[in-house]
Structure 1
Amino acid sequence: MAETTTTRAQAEEPEHPTAPWEPQRLAAPWQRLALGAILLISVFMNFYKLGQNGFDTYYPPAVRSMMDNWHNFFFAAYDPGGFTSLDKPPVGFWLQVLSAKIFGLTPFGTLLPQAVCGVLAVLLLYALVRRQCGVMAGLLAALALALSPVNIVTNRNVTIDSTLALVMLVGAWAVMRAAETGRLRWLLLCAAMVGIGFNIKMLEAYLVLPAFGLLYLIAAPTSIWKRLWHLALALLLLLVISFSWVAAVDLTPATQRPHIGATQDNSEIGLALGGNGLRRLLGVGGGANSTSAPGKGKAVATITNAPGDTVPAPFYLFTEPLAGQGSWLLPLAIFGMIALVKFRRPRPRSDRTLQALILWGMWLLTMGVFFSVATGRIHEYYLTVMYPALAALCGMGLVTMWQDYRRSGWRAWLLPLALIATAAEQIFILIGYPNWGRWMIPLLIMLCLLAVAVLIGARIPLRFIHNERVARLLMPALTLGLIALMIGPTLWAAIPIFQGTESDVPLAGPSQNDGPVGGSNSALIRYLLTHQGNAQILAVVAGSADSIILATNKPVIPLDGWSRYPLTTTELASLVASGKLRFLLLRDSPDPNQGRNGQQNDLLTWAEQHCKVVPSSERQSASTSSSTGKGSQLSSGPDSTSLQLYDCAAAH
C-alpha cells in the first residue's frame, strides 16, 4: 500500500517545478506525424539498398555453419566442421541464423536483424525520454539517434553492436520502472537484459552497470537496506545469466566442441575476461590475436590510445578517428548535461529530470571514459552503444536550455554557447576532409552564426518583455541552428549508403573502405570440390577461409584469423593418414615474423616433405580476381596470391 501511495503521489504532483514535462501521450496530431516521420527516416537509412553491396567476410561463414546443426548453433562454430568458434558469444548471431533460415543466407537475410534493431532502438529511446522529460525531448532524442552515423553503418552491418544497443535500452526501461516503483521484478528484468547483453558481446554490456545501479540506489522509493539487498540479488542473477553459456562451453570437453576463437587457452572465460576484457581496456590479457588477424577483413582498423599518443586522453572522443563516427553532437550533449543540473536540494525519488540525468549522464560518462582511456583494440563502431545516451541528453538538454533561455540568469546563455561549441567541433572534424569541408564549413558557419546572432540579440528585449509570444518567434532561429548541426552527421551517415561501400569494419563518411568486399577464387574452390574424394575435410587453409566456407559449406581447418585452429603436425599427419584430409592451402614460403612457435612454418615443412605441390596451371589461378556474382562478396583473403596448394593423397 505504501508503495502504491508513493507512486500515485509521484505521478499526480511533482515535488519540483523544474520537472514540468508531465504528458505521457502524443497529444497533438503534429507530434504523431513527427514521430512517424522520424521512424520513416530510420527505416530508410537502415533499409535502403540493404544488402545490395554484400556483407563482410568473417561472421557470415559462421552464420552458414550455425545453420547446419544444433552443435554448431550452440557453440557458435565458425566453420561447418566445428573446428573453431567465433570470437564472440552466440546470442546476436542466433538472430542472424533465424533470419537466414526464414529469408535465406543472403546479404539481406543476414543484415535484417541489425536493421530492425536499429529502428526499434529509435522508437524505444523516444518512449524512454518522453516518459522522463516529455514529447519534444523524446522526438529530438529519437531524431539524433535515427541520424547517428555510427549507428546507421552498424545497423547495416553483420556486427552485433546494434543488437547490444537495443538490449541495453530495454534494460534502461526496466531499471527506470524499478527506480519508480522500487519493485524487485523490474530490477531483475534489467539484470537479465544486461546478462543477455553479455552473451551478445561480453563485457561491453557491463558498461551500463554504473548508470543502472546508481539510478536504482539513489531513486528507488524503498529503504537503503532493501535497495542494497535488491541490487545484490540482481547482481547474482546478472552473473548467472552472463556466465551460463560461457560455463557450459568451458565445462564441455575440448574434444567435443570447437576450439575457442581468438584464444590461446581455449577458454570462453579467458576470452571474456582477457581477450574481450582487460585487453580491450588496458591492452593486456589473454588472446591469440594481439596484433593482426588477416581472417577478419582486408584491414583491421583499430583505435589504440596508448601511452605516447599526441592526443590527450580526455579529448580523444573529440578527435579522429572517433569524432567523425559518433562525436558530431557530443558538445551539445555535454551542455545538455550541464543544463539538467539544478542547484537545489535533490529529490531523486520524485524528480524525473534528475533520474534522467543520473541514467543517461552516467551512461555517457562511463562510456566516454572507457573510450578515452582504453589502450587495447577498440573499433570505431563500438561507439554504437554510447550513442543512445548521447542522443537522449541532446534531446533533454535542448528542451531544458530552450526553457532556460527564456528566463533570466546565466543559464540563458547555455543554448547559444552549445550551438557554438557543437559547430566548432564539427568544423574541426571537417577540416580533415578538405573536399567536403570546402563547402560544408562555410555553410555551417553561416547558418550557425545567423541562428546564434538572433538568439543572442534577442536576449536584451526578452529580459524586459517576458512575452511568451515573442519567445516563440525565436523558434525558427533555433530550428535553423539545429538543421545546420545535423547536416554533417546526416551526410556522414548517408555517404556509405549511396556510395555502396561495405567493409568488415563499418565506417561512416568518406572513409577508407575499399568498397564491396572482394571476390572468391572460384577456380580454386572448384578444384578442391572436384578432387576432394572421400576426404571429410575440404582443406587446411592459411589466410582467410571465409570464401571457401560460404561457397561450399564444407568443413575446413582455418589457420589464420580470429577463429584460427591450433593444428599441430602430429594431428595433421593423423588426419592425412586416416584419409580425412587431402589438401593443404599454405603460404609458399616460411614466415620469419610468425610467432606462436611458428605453427604454419612447421606445417609447411611437413607438407613439403610428404605432399606434392599442385601447379597453378592445374588449378588455373590462386588469385582473387574472379567473382562468384553480385551479392555473395566472398574473399579468399588478402594474401591469397602467396598461397600454395598441396595434395597429400600420396601420404595416405
Structure 2
Amino acid sequence: MTNVAEASTGIPVTEAAPGRQVAEPNIWSRSALGAVLLLSIVMDFFQLGQNGYGNLYYAAGVRSMTDSWHNFFFVSLDPGGFVTVDKPPVGFWLQTLSSKIFGFTPFSIFFPQALCGVLSVLLLYMLVRRHFGVVAGLVASLVLALTPISVVTNRNNTIDSVLALALLLAAWAVIQAAESGKLRWLLLSAGLVGLGFNVKMAEAYLIIPALGLVYLLCAPRKIWTRSWHLLLALLVLLVVSLSWAAIVDLTPVSQRPYVGSTKDNSELSLAFGYNGLNRLHITVGDNNHTSATGKQSTTVRREDVKVTRPAANNSSGSFLLLFHLFTVSLGSQIAWFLPCALLGMLALVWQRRPNFQKDRQQLGLVLWGIWFLTMAVFFSLDNSFHQYYLVVLAPGLSACVGIGLVTMWQDYRRAGWRGWLLPLTLALTAFAQVYIVTSYPLWSQWLIPLVGGVMLLVVILLLILRLLAWGLGRMNSVLVGSGLALVCLALLALLIAPTLWSGYVVMHNTESSFPTAGPNAHEKTAPALPKALVELVNVDHKLVAYLIAHQGNTQFLVATPSSGTADPLILSTNKPVMALGGFGGSDPIVTTADLKELIVQQKVRFFLLSASTRNVHAVVDGLSSAYRASVSAAGSKLGGSGQQEGVPTWVASNCKLVPTSKWRSTKGGGNTSTLHLYDCADMVNRATAK
C-alpha cells in the first residue's frame, strides 16, 4: 500500500498496523503543530471576555450556581432556586468551576469554551494523523482552528464548544474500540456521547451513526459479537444520558426549582420535547415559544436570530434548499471548504477497495465521512436552527479537508483520470468562496480578485504540470516539488477568507447571546472597533438601590415576567430574582393563588411588570433590537397563556404602584421606561391583621 504521509512530505513514517501510519517525532512536525496551536490560542483567548457576558441568560445561571450546591446541581437560573436554565448541567458546571477558580467574570465563564476549542484542535490533529499522516492532521487542525463559527463560539458562553470536544473524545474511544475489538473502549465512547447529551441534549446524538458504523464495520470481531457489543453500548449511552434528568424528575418538586421551558416541570420532557423533537418541528407537549412576529414557524428561544430556510413555494426556493449551507447566514460561518471536504472523501472512496477490518484508513473514512455527511445533511434539511449549532459539524468537515487534500495529491502524482480531481476541487472550492463573499460588497471588491486570481493561476499551472508529466511518462522530482508548492499556495489562498472572518471576531471582540463570525452582509462601511464597556451589565442603579433598601426580610429581591428582566438584575446584585414565567415568560410556574401565598409568606414583595407586558424584557441597555423584540414578544404570553393568564392584572389590582420618581433614574442606565414597579407589602399587613 502506498505510504501517503511519506510520499507527500518526505517525512519518515512507521507502520503501526495495517493501513495505519504514524509520523515519527521530528522538528518539522512539532514546530508546525506548535504554530497551529499557537494560532488557535490567539484566536480563542485574545481579548477574551473584555466586552460583556455574552448570553446573559446563561451567565445569570452560572452566577447563581456559584452560590450553593443546590443551585449548582439543578442549574438554577436565580440564586433563590425558583426556575432552572433550560439546558443540561455539564457545560455550566465547567463554567461554575472556572468562576470559583478565577472569580466570577466574563473571562472565567468563557474560559472553558476557549480551552475546549484549543484542545479540540490538538485532538483532531492526533486522530487524523493516526491513520493519514502528519500533513493531513496539520491541515485538518488548521482548518478547524480558523473555522469562523468555531472561533466565535469558543469565545462565548454558549456550550457547543464543550459538546464538540466531548464528541471528539468519543471518536478517539471508538477508534480504540474498532482497532482492538475491546468492549471497554466502545462503552467509554458511548459514555462520552452520554456526557455530551448532558451538555447539549439531543444534539450529541448526531454523531451516533458515525460511531456505530465504525465499530460495526471495522472491529476485529464476529458480526454477532459486534452486534451485542453495540446493543450494550446503546444501553450505557441511555443510562448516562438520562441519569441526571431522571434524578431531577425523581426529586420532589418542592425541593428543587421548576424546570424552565417546560409545561410539565420535567427534565425528560425538556430533553425530548423542547430540546429534542420540537427542534425538528415535531411537537411534543406544548413547549412552543412564539416569535416576535407571532408566527409559529420561527420559534423563539434565547438567541437573537434563528436560521430559517426559504419556503419551498416555487422552483427557485426548492432549488435553494439543496444549497442551504451556502446561504448568506451559514456560508461564511462553515462552508468555506465544503466542496473540498466532499470531493476529498470521494477521492478516498475511489482509491480504496472495501476492506474495513484490515485497512485502517477506511476506518478513518467511515468515521470522518459519516460524521461530516450526517451533520451536513441534518443542517441542510432542518427547517431552523442557530448558526453556532454548526460547531459540531466543523471537526468532521475539517478532517475530511485534511484527508482529502492528501489523498487527491497522491492521485495527482499518479497516472489515471483521478489525477485531475485535485485541480477541479481547488477550483470548485475557490468558486464557492467567491460565491459566499459576493454577499459582502465591502470585502468582495478585493477578496474576489485576490482569491480568484491566485486560484486561477494555481489551477492552470497544476494542469500544465500534469500535462508535462503525461508527456514525460512520469512525474519527476522537479514537477512534484513544483506541484506541492502550488498546492500549498492554493491552501493559503483558500484560508484567507475564513481567517479574516475569524480575525474579525477577535479584533472587534463583540459579545452576543447569538454568536456569529465576521462582518454583516451588505454592509457598506467598515465599523469602528468597539470601546470597552464601562459596565458589563447596564441596569438602572436607582432601581437596584430602591429594591435593596426596601427588600426587608423577603427572600426574592423582585419578581419579573421572565428571564429577560431577571438576568441583568441577578448579574448586578447576585440576589434572588423571580422569573415568573421562566425564560420566555410562558412557563406555568405560578398561578394568582400561588402569588398570594408567596406574598403572604414574605417570599416576594416587589413586582417589576409592564401594563402591556410589551418590551418588558428590555431592561439591559445595549442589547440588540432583535433580541429585545424576540423576548418581548415571548414575554407577552405572561398576560394570556394558560396558568399565567391574568397575573399582571392581578398584581396591578392587589398591589400598590410605586411612583417612578422613587426608583427610576432620569439619566439612563437601563431601559425601564415601559415598566411599572408594584409593592405588595400591604397584603402582608392585611394578612397579619387577620
How does the TM-score come out when normalised to structure 2?
A: 0.86
Residue 423 of structure 1 and its aligned partner are, at CA, apart by 1.0
TM-superposition CA deviations, 1:355-385 (whole Å, max 9, x none): 1110011001111111111124x10000001
CA contact (8 A) 1:281 1:370 kept: no
CA contact (8 A) 1:420 1:452 kept: yes
Secondary structure of 2:264 counterpart: coil
CA contact (8 A) 1:521 1:622 kept: no
Instruction: Note closer, same or farther for the CA distance 1:344–1:394 as it changes in structure 2 (3 Å cut).
Output: closer
Please tell me the residue identity of whatever aligns with 1:313. Answer: L
Partner of 2:6: none
TM-superposition CA deviations, 1:446-474 (whole Å, max 9, x none): 11111111111111111223213321122
Secondary structure of 2:559 counterpart: strand
Instruction: Note closer, same or farther for the CA distance 1:622–1:237 as it changes in structure 2 (3 Å cut).
Output: farther
> Is structure 2 residue 657 aligned with structure 1 residue 648?
no
Match of 2:42 among 21, 41, 44: 44
Residue 298 of structure 1 and its aligned partner are, at CA, apart by 8.3
> Is structure 2 residue 559 aligned with structure 1 residue 534?
no
Instruction: Return 330-339 or 37-46, whichever deviates more.
Output: 330-339
Instruction: Return 301-310 or 150-159, whichever deviates more.
Output: 301-310
Residue 408 of structure 1 and its aligned partner are, at CA, apart by 1.5
Instruction: Note closer, same or farther for the CA distance 1:12–1:441 as it changes in structure 2 (3 Å cut).
Output: closer
CA contact (8 A) 2:658 2:679 kept: yes
CA contact (8 A) 1:590 1:601 kept: no
> Is structure 2 residue 186 aligned with structure 1 residue 187?
yes
Partner of 1:391: 398
Partner of 1:112: 111
Higher RCO (C-alpha under 8 Å, 6+ residues apart): 1
Correspondence list, 1:195-210, <5 A? 195-210=194-209
Give the Cα–Cα distance (whole angstroms) in 2 for the partners of residues 563 and 98 of structure 1: 27
Residue 53 of structure 1 and its aligned partner are, at CA, apart by 1.0
Residue 175 of structure 1 and its aligned partner are, at CA, apart by 0.3
Please tell me the residue identity of whatever aligns with 2:655. Answer: C
Residue 52 of structure 1 and its aligned partner are, at CA, apart by 0.7
Instruction: Kindly tell me the number of residue pairs found equivalent between the two proteins.
Output: 624
Partner of 1:366: 374
Partner of 1:325: 333
Give the Cα–Cα distance (whole angstroms) in 2 for the partners of residues 590 and 261 of structure 1: 20
Partner of 1:631: none
Partner of 1:355: 363
Residue 560 of structure 1 and its aligned partner are, at CA, apart by 5.0
Instruction: Return 259-268 or 36-45, whichever deviates more.
Output: 259-268
Secondary structure of 2:609 counterpart: strand
Please tell me the residue identity of whatever aligns with 2:255. Answer: Q
Give the Cα–Cα distance (whole angstroms) in 2 for the partners of residues 317 and 453 of structure 1: 28
Partner of 2:91: 92
Partner of 1:254: 253
Please tell me the residue identity of whatever aligns with 2:21. Answer: E
TM-superposition CA deviations, 1:152-185 (whole Å, max 9, x none): 1111100110001001000000000111010001
Please tell me the residue identity of whatever aligns with 1:202. Answer: M
Partner of 1:5: none
Please tell me the residue identity of whatever aligns with 1:243. Answer: L
Instruction: Return 509-518 or 161-170, whichever deviates more.
Output: 509-518
Instruction: Note closer, same or farther for the CA distance 1:161–1:333 as it changes in structure 2 (3 Å cut).
Output: same
Secondary structure of 2:307 counterpart: coil
Instruction: Note closer, same or farther for the CA distance 1:286–1:11 as it changes in structure 2 (3 Å cut).
Output: farther
CA contact (8 A) 1:622 1:643 kept: no
Give the Cα–Cα distance (whole angstroms) in 1 for the partners of residues 145 and 353 of structure 2: 36
> Is structure 2 residue 574 aligned with structure 1 residue 553?
yes
Give the Cα–Cα distance (whole angstroms) in 2 for the partners of residues 563 and 188 of structure 1: 38
Instruction: Note closer, same or farther for the CA distance 1:398–1:622 as it changes in structure 2 (3 Å cut).
Output: farther
Instruction: Note closer, same or farther for the CA distance 1:212–1:265 as it changes in structure 2 (3 Å cut).
Output: same
Partner of 1:337: 345
Correspondence list, 1:101-180, <5 A? 101-180=100-179
CA contact (8 A) 1:462 1:471 kept: no
Partner of 1:584: 607
Please tell me the residue identity of whatever aligns with 1:584. Answer: F
Give the Cα–Cα distance (whole angstroms) in 2 for the partners of residues 101 and 422 of structure 1: 45
Instruction: Note closer, same or farther for the CA distance 1:557–1:248 as it changes in structure 2 (3 Å cut).
Output: same
Match of 1:440 among 436, 447, 451: 447
Partner of 2:69: 70
Residue 533 of structure 1 and its aligned partner are, at CA, apart by 1.1
Residue 568 of structure 1 and its aligned partner are, at CA, apart by 1.4
Match of 2:495 among 481, 486, 497: 486
How does the TM-score come out when normalised to structure 1?
A: 0.91
Residue 237 of structure 1 and its aligned partner are, at CA, apart by 0.6
TM-superposition CA deviations, 1:189-223 (whole Å, max 9, x none): 10110010011111111100000000100000010
Please tell me the residue identity of whatever aligns with 1:603. Answer: V
Instruction: Note closer, same or farther for the CA distance 1:609–1:399 as it changes in structure 2 (3 Å cut).
Output: same
Instruction: Return 561-570 or 551-560, whichever deviates more.
Output: 561-570
Residue 500 of structure 1 and its aligned partner are, at CA, apart by 2.3
Partner of 2:659: 615
TM-superposition CA deviations, 1:381-412 (whole Å, max 9, x none): 00001100000000010001111111121211
CA contact (8 A) 1:86 1:563 kept: no
Please tell me the residue identity of whatever aligns with 2:409. Answer: W
Instruction: Note closer, same or farther for the CA distance 1:125–1:85 as it changes in structure 2 (3 Å cut).
Output: same
Give the Cα–Cα distance (whole angstroms) in 2 for the partners of residues 344 and 202 of structure 1: 36
Residue 12 of structure 1 and its aligned partner are, at CA, apart by 5.7
Correspondence list, 1:25-40, <5 A? 25-26=24-25, 28-40=26-38
CA contact (8 A) 1:178 1:186 kept: yes
CA contact (8 A) 1:99 1:113 kept: yes
Residue 76 of structure 1 and its aligned partner are, at CA, apart by 0.6
Give the Cα–Cα distance (whole angstroms) in 2 for the partners of residues 168 and 342 of structure 1: 28
Residue 579 of structure 1 and its aligned partner are, at CA, apart by 2.2
Give the Cα–Cα distance (whole angstroms) in 1 for the partners of residues 581 and 454 of structure 2: 51
Instruction: Return 574-583 or 104-113, whichever deviates more.
Output: 574-583
Runs (5+) with no aligned partner, structure 2: 1-13, 294-299, 522-526, 615-632, 685-690
Give the Cα–Cα distance (whole angstroms) in 1 for the partners of residues 595 and 292 of structure 2: 22
Residue 282 of structure 1 and its aligned partner are, at CA, apart by 2.8
Structure 1 vs Structure 2 CA RMSD: 2.4
Give the Cα–Cα distance (whole angstroms) in 2 for the partners of residues 344 and 367 of structure 1: 24
Partner of 2:687: none
Secondary structure of 2:76 counterpart: coil
CA contact (8 A) 2:52 2:537 kept: no
Please tell me the residue identity of whatever aligns with 2:652. Answer: E
Give the Cα–Cα distance (whole angstroms) in 1 for the partners of residues 122 and 408 of structure 2: 24
